[in-house]
A and B are shown apart, each in its own frame.
Chain A
Amino acid sequence: DIQMTQSPPTLSASVGDRVTITCRASQSISIWLAWYQQKPGKAPKLLIYKASSLESGVPSRFSGSGSGTEFTLTISSLQPDDFATYYCQQYNSDPYTFGQGTKLEIK
């Protein structure tokens, strides 16, 4: 099974900051990676698919990059609505594993 490791587990930042979350796969997954945002008590929301494709309706301050085993999610200028937990997921091969999550907190 492919293991997905996110870092950091928790990130403290301020409105306006540029932040980056990293996701590493235990073996190559090409570009078959998605990023999701989840707020407490809500279902996750798709942000990025195929490593760098922005889902329709998602603000352009979100971007994804990477291929193979290392991927990043970048938020260019944090907004109050962005404080949430972020998950990566690989869909290269089953089981389609998620990372353990990164909680983005207000500093």
Chain B
Amino acid sequence: QVQLVESGGGVVQPGRSLRLSCAASGFTFSSYGMHWVRQGPGKGLEWVALISYDGSNEHYADSVKGRFTISRDNSKNTLYLQMSSLRAEDTAVYYCAKGRGSGAGAVDYWGQGTLVTVSS
């Protein structure tokens, strides 16, 4: 069955960097677009970034553009989110999520989430 397991979350000071990873299994990782979606404490869902099946296309929310980079290693079935210049408002649970198609599309599987707390 499809499994998405995030790691790399934690407490980080404002202005610092953090890299999240997502290990995928149970499906042909290299065939699907992958997303990061976050949810701040007590808030709704916020789409963060999408990468196409082959890594050739990336899309970002305005709130993270220029600070976050999504990438993937299809040989390792792993998705990444490199986050830099972190701000307090980036504090959230970050979900790795599988798209239904090779690019943009609905999300059909989600990881359990990893908490990122940006605080001094």
Contact = CB atoms under 8 A, between A and B. Distances in A.
A91 B104 contact: yes
Chain A interface size band reads 20 to 34
Nearest to A101: B44
Nearest to A49: B106
B113 A95 contact: no
A87 B44 contact: yes
B59 interface: yes
Which DSSP category, helix, strand, loop or mixed, fits chain A's interface? loop
A43 B59 contact: no
A34 interface: yes
Contacts of B45: 36, 38, 44, 87, 89, 98, 101
Contacts of A69: none
B119 to A, nearest CB: 21
Contacts of B95: 43-44
Contacts of B106: 34, 46, 49-50, 89, 91
Contact of B105 (A91, A97, A98): A91
Contact of B47 (A49, A96, A100): A96
Contacts of B35: 96
A38 to B, nearest CB: 7
Interface string A73-87: 000000000000001
B14 interface: no
A56 B44 CA distance: 25
9 contacts: A34-B107, A43-B112, A91-B105, A95-B60, A95-B61, A95-B62, A96-B50, A96-B59, A98-B45
Interface of B: 35, 37, 44-47, 50, 59-62, 95, 100, 104-108, 110-113
Given A34-B106, A43-B95, 8 more contacts: A43-B113, A49-B106, A49-B108, A89-B47, A91-B106, A96-B35, A98-B46, A100-B44
